[in-house]
């Protein structure tokens, strides 16, 4: 692997407090030097001219569905990570709702095998309970040893109080987060979108805000009962003001509670469902405008720890059916940066440095992915180079994902990825 010298770019590295013109040298998959322009000698390095571009630590997505094993017709680890690289991501954390469920060290190791042809680094998140059935815990020690960085039952939330408390306690001993898809499914049976005027107009059953917030409140109460400072609850794809307020209160009380928000939950509201558009069907559903605004407020004031895509590919035939029958989820890896910059920077003036923190530094910190989310000397040579002012049109047909289920086809984005480098290898180059 030849050394790479990235020259003349504007380095933004929130973890190191750098927001200035810097050259960066990558050697043997690590960051070897960071210095003022012209200070690093070229040697035999391949030179990348980044003049006029932002150089930042590679993006980190802690919530993706790569569909393997078992659902390769929707996505594979190879195609999903290729899409991630095109979006500027160098690390993705894969959810366990595969076929079979990733509830064993063997499946975790299978996902990490070189035969999967991952373009970037994959970090599996294992099932919290066997088969994600919510009845008995998986073997957290062996799962962590195999490479799992957290546990969750994701789309099948843990409803039993005893088993959730047991999960929080067992995970704390290993310093693993328990990630909860906050939905009390006893309140959402037969529901396909947010409860509100749009659902009423369309004749659809709606998921209430309380279905999310009540489970978050329950989990935070259990977290407090664990009495272990290592106990860590992470709320996945939070979508309601009430749930966010609960997380805020828990943190004020000293609990180790974190949360993520997906771009679609701060860009779209329930009106995007329109006339039964299944590309606007996801879980949690698109919420009321007040909740969408609350997500932006939470991001700006720092209550939201990070942005994660919840990339959920589905085959065209699965989405091309009645709204209530279509599966939940959209793709998101290639549109995340462009949507985030256009919305949070373009409309709400959030600095680019904060956006990099939300998409790289902070998600890496949430899951303790050491050496990721920073370009400090000695860190992994994970880099995204992008033009922060470039406007471009997202075209789903050109996506590197196997699936094209997105509500953002044809949207104008801001901030275009020019190159992605994963552990010193160029894994994506525009054009």
**pLDDT confidence of 75, banded at 50, 70, 90?**
very high
Task: Based on the residue annotation, tell me whether 28 is a catalytic residue of this protein.
Answer: no
Label residues 259-279 b or e (16+ Cβ within 10 Å = b): bbbbbbbbbbbbeebeebebb
Q: Where in the chain is the domain with CATH 3.20.20.140?
A: 58-366
Sheet strands (E) in 65-144? 89-94, 121-124, 126-127
Asked whether the predicted pLDDT for residue 104 surpasses 90, the reply is yes
CATH class as words, domain 4-54+382-429? mainly beta
pLDDT tens-digit profile of 209-223? 999 999 999 999 999
Catalytic residue among 13, 61, 184, 310: 310
Rounded mean pLDDT of the chain? 98
Residues 103-120, mean pLDDT to the nearest whole number:
98
Residues 194-219, mean pLDDT to the nearest whole number:
98
Asked whether the predicted pLDDT for residue 266 surpasses 90, the reply is yes
pTM score of the predicted model: 0.97
Longest dimension (CA), the chain: 67
Give the containing element (helix H, strand E) for 234: strand 233-235
Asked whether the predicted pLDDT for residue 197 surpasses 90, the reply is yes
Q: Where in the chain is the domain with CATH 2.30.40.10?
A: 4-54+382-429
Q: State residue 140's pLDDT score.
A: 98
Q: What is the DSSP letter of 150?
A: -
How far is the CA of 314 from the CAs of 39, 40, 320, 322, 423, in angstroms?
A: 48, 46, 10, 15, 29
pLDDT tens-digit profile of 32-45? 999 999 999 988 99
Residues 405-429, mean pLDDT to the nearest whole number:
98
Please count the other Cβ atoms lying within 10 Å of the Cβ belonging to residue 229.
10
pLDDT tens-digit profile of 346-395? 999 999 999 999 999 999 999 999 999 999 999 999 999 999 999 999 99
pLDDT tens-digit profile of 57-71? 999 999 999 999 999
Q: Tell me the C-alpha distance between 420 and 334, whole Å.
A: 12
**pLDDT confidence of 115, banded at 50, 70, 90?**
very high
Superfamily of domain 58-366: Metal-dependent hydrolases (3.20.20.140)
Closest CA to 87 of 61, 122, 125, 123: 61
Q: State residue 1's pLDDT score.
A: 87
Q: Which token pair is 4? A: 């790479």
* DSSP 3-state of 124: strand
Closest CA to 284 of 275, 300, 295: 295
CB 420 within 8 A of CB 88: yes
CB 22 within 8 A of CB 37: yes
Q: State residue 15's pLDDT score.
A: 98
Residues 196-200, mean pLDDT to the nearest whole number:
98
Q: State residue 218's pLDDT score.
A: 98
Q: State residue 431's pLDDT score.
A: 86
Please count the other Cβ atoms lying within 10 Å of the Cβ belonging to residue 356.
25
| High-pLDDT (> 90) share of the chain, % | 98
Residues 337-353, mean pLDDT to the nearest whole number:
98
């Amino acid at each position: 692997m030849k050394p790479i010298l990235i020259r003349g770019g504007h380095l933004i590295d929130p973890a190191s407090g750098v927001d200035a013109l810097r050259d960066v040298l990558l050697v043997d998959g690590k960051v070897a030097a960071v210095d003022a322009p012209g200070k690093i000698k070229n040697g035999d390095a391949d030179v990348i001219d980044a003049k006029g571009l932002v150089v930042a630590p590679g993006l980190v997505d802690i919530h993706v569905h790569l569909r393997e094993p078992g659902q390769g017709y929707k996505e594979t680890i190879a195609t999903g990570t290729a899409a991630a690289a095109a979006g500027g991501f160098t690390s993705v954390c894969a959810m366990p709702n595969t076929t079979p469920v990733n509830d064993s060290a063997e499946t975790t190791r299978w996902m990490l095998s070189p035969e999967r042809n991952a373009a970037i680094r994959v970090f599996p998140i294992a099932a919290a309970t066997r088969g994600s059935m919510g009845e008995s815990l998986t073997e957290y020690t062996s799962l962590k040893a195999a490479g799992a960085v957290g546990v969750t039952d994701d789309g099948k939330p843990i409803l039993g109080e005893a088993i959730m408390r047991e999960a929080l306690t067992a995970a704390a001993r290993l310093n693993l987060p328990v990630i909860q898809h906050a939905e009390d499914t006893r309140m959402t049976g037969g529901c396909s979108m947010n409860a509100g005027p749009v659902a009423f107009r369309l004749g659809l059953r709606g998921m209430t805000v309380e279905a999310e917030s009540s489970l978050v409140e329950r989990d935070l109460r259990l977290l407090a009962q664990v009495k272990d400072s290592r106990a860590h609850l992470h709320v996945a794809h939070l979508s309601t003001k009430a749930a966010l307020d609960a997380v805020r209160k828990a943190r004020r009380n000293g609990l180790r509670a974190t949360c993520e928000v997906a771009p679609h939950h701060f860009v779209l509201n329930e009106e995007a469902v329109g006339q039964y558009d299944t590309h606007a069907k996801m879980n949690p559903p698109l919420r009321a405008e007040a909740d969408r605004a609350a997500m932006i407020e939470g991001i700006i004031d720092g209550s939201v720890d990070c942005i994660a895509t919840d990339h959920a590919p589905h085959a065209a035939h699965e989405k091309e059916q009645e709204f209530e029958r279509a599966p939940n989820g959209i793709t998101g890896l290639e549109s995340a940066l462009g949507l985030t910059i256009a919305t949070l920077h373009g409309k709400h003036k959030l600095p680019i440095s904060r956006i990099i923190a939300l998409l790289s530094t902070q998600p890496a910190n949430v899951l303790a992915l050491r050496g990721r989310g920073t370009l400090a000397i000695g860190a992994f040579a994970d880099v995204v180079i992008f033009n922060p002012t470039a406007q471009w049109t997202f075209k789903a047909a050109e996506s590197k994902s196997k699936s094209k289920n997105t509500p953002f086809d044809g949207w104008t984005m801001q901030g275009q990825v020019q190159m992605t480098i994963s552990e010193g290898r160029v894994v994506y180059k525009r054009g």
